[in-house]
């Protein structure tokens, strides 16, 4: 049974913003409750961690450590580079090292803040489909709001957001399910469970991140599930390359982040 999520307006929210928050809450099946001048500590005492604050920036996760609301994060800079014709290592990996005009269907299994889904939706060939899973109900709510409501100053970025479909779910459950749908590419960012300790953006959500370990067994299941390839984002590929010596690695010479690509034998044949 999924826990109830409560949505409260920001402290200084006007009536229009409260109505907007209430409408979104009803759309999502959440419970909208009045703020009554309660502090974040008060809200945590009343609702535990299962609440979102609806502000002019949309729903946000407010904690004593800080606030998390939807933004493009690193996708902002990366889409600018793509617009200028510069390569993006994620796009190269998703396309198996040979960029072209063939559309792909991609499932981002660990969506998180959504930056990689945004880059994929923006940069993959026209007709591609990008869907995403996020196991944390609060993070899924914030990111899905961004995909469906955030308006960027550039129309093509907004269009890329609208093309992404996000649903709350655990990729481990998806991999164990024998039924479809199947995707050309399954993408994983296991780094999200091991964020850089000093990164401010992770502080408000650190306690709710629960993507679990991407074990060799799960990777094997993903290889069986994907039509073409499995792509894994990592900092250190030592163990992965021991377990899967056939992996092809992509990434910048001076980048701490790279992508391992495992081609599915069923597709090769």
**Where do the structural domains in the chain lie, given as residue ranges?**
6-56, 75-268
Q: How far apart are CA 230 and CA 260, in angstroms?
A: 8
Q: Given a cut of 80, is residue 203 above it in pLDDT? A: no
Residue 234: pLDDT band by 50, 70, 90 thresholds? confident
For the entire predicted model, the pTM comes to 0.92
The mean per-residue pLDDT over the stretch 102-123 comes to 97
- Asked which of 36-50, 143-157, 203-217 is least confident by mean pLDDT, the reply is 203-217
Q: Which fold has domain 75-268?
A: Rossmann fold (3.40.50)
Residue scoring higher pLDDT (164 or 257): 164
Q: Given a cut of 60, is residue 248 above it in pLDDT? A: yes
Dihedral over Cα of 87, 90, 91, 92: its sign: positive
* Total residues belonging to the chain: 269
Residue 250: pLDDT band by 50, 70, 90 thresholds? very high
The mean per-residue pLDDT over the stretch 116-137 comes to 97
The pLDDT of residue 268 is 46
Encode pLDDT of 142-201 as tens digits.
999 999 999 999 999 999 999 999 999 999 999 998 777 789 999 999 864 455 444 455
Q: Given a cut of 60, is residue 140 above it in pLDDT? A: yes
- The four Cα atoms 12, 17, 21, 26 give a dihedral, to 10 degrees, of 140
Q: How far apart are CA 187 and CA 135, in angstroms?
A: 15
Token pair in block for residue 206: 């650190």
The mean per-residue pLDDT over the stretch 27-37 comes to 96
The pLDDT of residue 208 is 59
Token pair in block for residue 186: 């399954």
The pLDDT of residue 202 is 56
Residue 66: pLDDT band by 50, 70, 90 thresholds? confident
- Asked which of 192-196, 209-213, 214-218 is least confident by mean pLDDT, the reply is 192-196
The pLDDT of residue 253 is 66
- Asked which of 51-55, 193-197, 247-251 is least confident by mean pLDDT, the reply is 193-197
Q: Across the chain, what does the average pLDDT equal?
A: 90
The mean per-residue pLDDT over the stretch 198-209 comes to 57
């Amino acid at each position: 049974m999924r826990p109830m999520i409560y949505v409260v307006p920001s402290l200084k929210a006007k009536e229009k913003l409260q109505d907007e928050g209430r409408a979104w809450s009803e759309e999502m099946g959440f419970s909208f409750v009045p703020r009554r001048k309660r502090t974040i500590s008060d809200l945590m005492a009343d609702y535990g961690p299962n609440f979102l604050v609806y502000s002019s920036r949309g729903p946000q996760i407010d904690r004593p450590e800080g606030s998390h609301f939807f933004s493009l994060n690193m996708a902002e800079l990366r889409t600018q580079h793509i617009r200028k014709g510069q390569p993006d290592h994620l796009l190269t990996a998703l396309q198996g090292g040979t960029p072209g005009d063939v559309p792909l269907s991609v499932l981002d299994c660990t969506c998180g803040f959504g930056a990689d889904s945004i880059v994929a939706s923006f940069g993959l060939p026209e007709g591609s489909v990008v869907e995403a899973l996020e196991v944390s109900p609060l993070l899924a709510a914030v990111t899905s709001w961004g995909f469906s409501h955030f308006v960027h100053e550039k129309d093509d970025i907004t269009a890329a957001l609208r093309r992404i479909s996000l649903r709350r779910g655990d990729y481990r459950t998806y991999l164990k399910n024998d039924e479809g749908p199947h995707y050309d590419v399954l993408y994983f960012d296991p780094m999200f469970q091991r964020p850089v300790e000093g990164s401010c953006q992770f502080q408000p959500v650190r306690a709710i991140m629960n993507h679990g370990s991407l074990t060799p067994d799960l990777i094997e299941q993903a290889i069986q599930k994907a039509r073409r390839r499995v792509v894994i984002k990592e900092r250190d590929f030592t163990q992965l390359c021991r377990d899967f010596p056939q992996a092809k690695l992509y990434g910048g010479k001076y980048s701490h982040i790279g992508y391992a690509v495992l081609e599915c034998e069923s597709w090769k044949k």
